[in-house]
Structure 1
Amino acid sequence: MQVVILDTNVLLDLFVLQELIKGKLKALATPLALEGFADVIARPLFSLNEVE
């Protein structure tokens, strides 16, 4: 099992994610933000491929 350290920003992100899942918030993102996200998660550190 890997250990991670959660800083304040990560904890706030988790809180917002929970609210999104509950349907209490609506998320909006620009195409540029989505491109940046896709670039980051495509890096070897995340070991993701197009199917995932």
Structure 2
Amino acid sequence: MLKNNIEKQREKMIAAAKMYGYSSKLTVKYSQELDKMLNVVLFENNTGHEKIS
């Protein structure tokens, strides 16, 4: 489920970048949200916590 959310967030970020530019507030917001999701995955993978499917 997290993988699907990550992919959806990535797509939103790319769409925003294409429409408004890489440094727009919306693109940066989506990028930061994506970073948080990816950090969760990295934490889980590095600490042996529950893996995502």
Query: TM-score category by the smaller chain?
Result: 0.3 to 0.5
What TM-score do you get using the length of structure 2 for normalisation?
A: 0.33
* More relative contact order, 1 or 2 (CA 8 Å, 6+ apart): 2
What is the TM-score with the length of structure 1 in the denominator? 0.34
Name the one with the larger helix percent: 2
